[in-house]
Amino acid sequence: GAVVSQHPSWVICKSGTSVKIECRSLDFQATTMFWYRQFPKQSLMLMATSNEGSKATYEQGVEKDKFLINHASLTLSTLTVTSAHPEDSSFYICSATHPRQGNYEQYFGPGTRLTVT
Amino acid sequence: QQPVQSPQAVILREGEDAVINCSSSKALYSVHWYRQKHGEAPVFLMILLKGGEQKGHEKISASFNEKKQQSSLYLTASQLSYSGTYFCGTGVTGGGNKLTFGTGTQLKVEL
């Protein structure tokens, strides 16, 4: 158990367009999902915390109007990168907390590599 | 502030042992360890909660010293499959389930 999927796994888009990334927990219900961004050879940087049915909590320095997060159900969260620019090119990874052990464990999706041209 | 991991990188021969350290400037409630292979998502290894416990998982174990705000990951009799980048993720009291990930340690195991 504890499988998280992301779609798409790889996307190239033109500057100025928007891209939506989906994160799904396949075999469990996740009340909380997290969105991270990872640049090459760097660590994971938390962008926002997404709770089902409520507004996402964004980390300092992350533009909420640019990175729209929707957590419509206990198994689906989406991240939309609006008006994407080349500097938004990165590896975007979501995670979901599993109900085991008081929701402490985070399981990661396979990631989405975004390239903005 | 991001937890600092040491060493930054290490190369081992198969069968050798390694220790990866994670040090935080904040009071920690939990430490999570992950391994990430190139181009893939991090894979959960183990979690340690406040209480200074040590956990083991076959040849990989970890300790958590909450007073020093440090955790160490111990890899014994390393295998080729252990290669990857190891990250610690730290949680603080009152921080919910949010984790702050460390700087990472690149580990390469060679024959």
Which of B2, B30, B96 lies at the smallest CB-CB distance from A43? B2
A44 touches chain B (CB under 8 A): yes
Q: What is the pLDDT of residues B2-37, one digit of tens each?
A: 999 999 999 999 999 999 999 999 999 899 999 999
Q: Left, alpha or beta for B71 (phi > 0: left; psi -120 to 50: alpha)?
A: beta
Which residue of chain B comes nearest to A5, CA vs CA?
A: B41
Instruction: Look at strands A32-38 and A90-97 and give their pairing.
Output: antiparallel
Is a pLDDT exceeding 70 seen at residue A102? no
Mean pLDDT of chain A: 92
| Interatomic CA distance for residues B107 and A37, integer angstroms | 22
A101 touches chain B (CB under 8 A): yes
A45 touches chain B (CB under 8 A): yes
Confidence band (pLDDT; 50, 70, 90) for A64?
Answer: very high
A45 contact residues in B (CB cutoff 8 A): 101
